[in-house]
Amino acid sequence: MSEDRATRGSVRTITDLARLAGVSPGTVSRALAGKSLVNTKTREKIEAIAREHGFRPNQMASGLRRQKTGVIGVVIPLGHDTRQQISDTFFMTLLGFLADELTLEGYDLMLRRVVPKDDADWLDRFIGSGMIDGVIVIGQSDQFDRIEDVADGYGPMVVWGNHAEGQRHCVVGTDNRLGGRLAAERLIAAGARRLAFLGDTTAIEFAARFAGAQDVAQRMGLAPIIELPTHLSPERASDEIARHLDAVKGRVDGIFAATDTLAALCLTALRTRGVAVPDDIRLIGFDDLPIASHTVPPLTTVKQDIAAGARGLVDLLLRRLAGEQTESLVLPPQLVVRQTA
Amino acid sequence: MSEDRATRGSVRTITDLARLAGVSPGTVSRALAGKSLVNTKTREKIEAIAREHGFRPNQMASGLRRQKTGVIGVVIPLGHDTRQQISDTFFMTLLGFLADELTLEGYDLMLRRVVPKDDADWLDRFIGSGMIDGVIVIGQSDQFDRIEDVADGYGPMVVWGNHAEGQRHCVVGTDNRLGGRLAAERLIAAGARRLAFLGDTTAIEFAARFAGAQDVAQRMGLAPIIELPTHLSPERASDEIARHLDAVKGRVDGIFAATDTLAALCLTALRTRGVAVPDDIRLIGFDDLPIASHTVPPLTTVKQDIAAGARGLVDLLLRRLAGEQTESLVLPPQLVVRQTA
DNA sequence: GTGAAAGCGCTAACAC
DNA sequence: GTGTTAGCGCTTTCAC
Please list every residue in chain A whose beta carbon sits closer than 8 Å to the beta carbon of residue B53: none
Question: Shortest CB distance from B61 goes to which of A59, A64, A74?
Answer: A64
* Cβ within 8 Å of A, B 62-101: 63-64, 69, 71, 74, 84, 86-87, 89, 92-93, 95-97, 99-100
Which nucleotides of strand D lie within 7 A of protein CB? Answer: 1-5, 7-13
Please list every residue in chain B whose beta carbon sits closer than 8 Å to the beta carbon of residue A153: 5, 8-9
- Walk along chain B (341 residues) in steps of 10 and give the mean pLDDT of each run: 45 94 95 87 94 94 96 88 61 90 94 90 94 95 91 94 93 97 98 97 92 98 97 83 95 97 92 94 95 87 97 97 95 98 95
Coil, strand, or helix at residue A214?
Answer: helix
Pick the residue from chain A with its C-alpha nearest to B107.
A112
- Give yes or no for residue A295 having a pLDDT over 90: no
Q: Measuring from the CA of residue A30 to each C1', which nucleotide is nearest?
A: D11
| CATH, domain range A69-173+306-331 | 3.40.50.2300
How many Å apart are CA A135 and CA A73, to the nearest integer? 5
How many Å apart are CA B307 and CA B95, to the nearest integer? 10
Long-range Cβ contact pairs of A199-202 (< 8 A, separation 24 or more): A199/A228, A199/A229, A199/A230, A199/A257, A199/A258, A199/A259, A199/A262, A200/A80, A200/A81, A200/A229, A200/A230, A200/A231, A200/A232, A200/A258, A201/A227, A201/A229, A202/A80, A202/A142
How many Å apart are CA B93 and CA B305, to the nearest integer? 11
Class of domain B176-303: alpha beta
Q: Are strands B282-287 and B171-174 parallel, antiparallel or unpaired?
A: unpaired
Say what percent of chain A tops pLDDT 70. Answer: 95
Determine contact: B138 vs chain A, CB below 8 A.
no
Topology alike, domains B69-173+306-331 and B176-303:
yes
* Cβ within 8 Å of B, A 195-214: none
Confidence bin at A179 (pLDDT 50/70/90): very high
Question: Shortest CB distance from B294 goes to which of A9, A131, A264?
Answer: A264
Q: How far does CA A63 lie from the centroid of its chain?
A: 26
What pLDDT score does B93 carry?
86
How many Å apart are CA A65 and CA B68, to the nearest integer? 17
Confidence bin at A111 (pLDDT 50/70/90): very high
Q: Which tens digits make up the pLDDT trace of A310-319?
A: 999 999 999 9
Could you check: is the Cβ of residue A51 within 7 Å of any atom of nucleic acid strand D?
no
User: Domain map of chain B by residue range?
Assistant: 3-52, 69-173+306-331, 176-303
- Between 1.10.10, 1.10.3470, 2.40.480, 1.10.260, what CATH number should domain B3-52 receive? 1.10.260
The reply to whether residue B59 touches residue A294, judged by beta carbons under 8 angstroms, is no
H runs (alpha helix) in B25-136: 25-33, 40-52, 59-66, 89-104, 122-127
Q: Compute how many other C-beta atoms are within 10 angstroms of the C-beta atom of residue B221.
A: 7
Please list every residue in chain A whose beta carbon sits closer than 8 Å to the beta carbon of residue B9: 153
Average model confidence (pLDDT) for chain A?
A: 91
Contacts of A307 (CB under 8 A, 6+ apart): A97
Report which of residues 123-152 in chain B place their beta carbon less than 7 angstroms from any atom of strand D: 130
What pLDDT score does A83 carry?
53
Determine contact: B52 vs chain A, CB below 8 A.
no
Cα four-point dihedral sign B118, B124, B126, B128: negative
Determine contact: A294 vs chain B, CB below 8 A.
yes
How much is the average pLDDT of A161-175?
Answer: 94
- Give yes or no for residue A96 having a pLDDT over 60: yes
The reply to whether residue A71 touches residue B110, judged by beta carbons under 8 angstroms, is yes
What pLDDT score does B81 carry?
59
What pLDDT score does B5 carry?
39
Name the DSSP class of A294: G
Q: How far apart are the first and last CA of chain B?
A: 59
Max Cα separation, chain B?
A: 85
What's the Å distance between residue A121 CA and nucleotide C15 C1'? 38
Determine contact: B105 vs chain A, CB below 8 A.
no
Confidence bin at A293 (pLDDT 50/70/90): confident
Name the DSSP class of A259: S
What pLDDT score does B1 carry?
39
